Amino acid sequence: MRLYDFPNAPNPRRVRVVAAEKGIDLEYVTIDMTKRQHKTPEFLRKNPSGKIPVLELADGTCIGESIAICRYLEAIEPTPNLFGEDALEIAQIEMAHRQIELELMSQIGTSWVNGPIVAKAGLVEPIEAAKQRSDGLTKAFYRRMDKELSERDYIAGNRYSIADITAAIAIDFAGALVSLKPDVELSNLWAWHARVAGRPGYANA
């Protein structure tokens, strides 16, 4: 299986981490986003959204959307389980993960799109007010995480799941490229981050 990927992009990284956790070997093909290779007619045939990641199977079937790909990997290699084992746990992980995607990752994405790096590339006219708002919502979500992580070791309960993978990758991206590193005083958040970052599957992907 081939993964269309780009090194600093957070969404393909989610797939790389899930594959590493499960010991699944993928062939990585770099799509250079700085050269707009994700918008070529050839790539748009693989994913009409013009976004990475895309997983291409041996018969040429293409799957877009990082979580659709991660769910495919979970179905072909169920161990370790990352999306929940029983009805309640599946629902709890889904709830926590949806909130991380919609209330944290998407806010970081808004700050990124309206920030200086994208503006310099001349792709989007930045809206400063949108950035101010999403910066504030991101920082408020960090404080919420810090409070919740004082009561449990992982985002969705007491074990590692896809919610931790998405949250840690979003935070790494926010710190490295969006000037939204969580404050050092958020000690529960940082202790959780160290637990996640210390996993070989996370660190090496």
Ligand X SMILES: N[C@@H](CCC(=O)N[C@@H](CS)C(=O)NCC(=O)O)C(=O)O
The residues binding ligand X (CB under 6 A) are 9-11, 38, 50-53, 65-67
- The pair of three-digit structure tokens given for residue 151, joined into one six-digit string: 């009561």
Strands ordered across the beta sheet of 27-30: 27-30, 2-5, 54-56, 62-64
For tokens 């944290």, what's the residue?
104
Q: How far is the CB of 105 from ligand X (least distance, A)?
A: 9
Sequence length of the chain is: 205
Is the CB of 156 or the CB of 162 nearer to ligand X? 162
Angle between helix axes 10-22 and 162-177 (nearest 10 degrees) is 140
Is the CB of 52 or the CB of 149 nearer to ligand X? 52
Q: How far is the CB of 185 from ligand X (least distance, A)?
A: 29
Is the CB of 7 or the CB of 136 nearer to ligand X? 7
Q: How far is the CB of 38 from ligand X (least distance, A)?
A: 5
The CA distance from 24 to 20, in Å, is: 6
Is the CB of 149 or the CB of 170 nearer to ligand X? 170
Look up residue 164 and give its DSSP letter. Answer: H
Is the CB of 71 or the CB of 199 nearer to ligand X? 71
- The pair of three-digit structure tokens given for residue 5, joined into one six-digit string: 């990927």
Q: How far is the CB of 87 from ligand X (least distance, A)?
A: 25
Strands 62-64 and 54-56: antiparallel
Q: How far is the CB of 189 from ligand X (least distance, A)?
A: 22
Q: How far is the CB of 55 from ligand X (least distance, A)?
A: 10
Is the CB of 68 or the CB of 95 nearer to ligand X? 68
Phi, psi of 63 (to 5 degrees): -120, 120
- The pair of three-digit structure tokens given for residue 75, joined into one six-digit string: 């179905």
CA nearest 195: which of 162, 159, 171, 170?
A: 159
CA 18 to chain centre: 11
SS3 63: strand
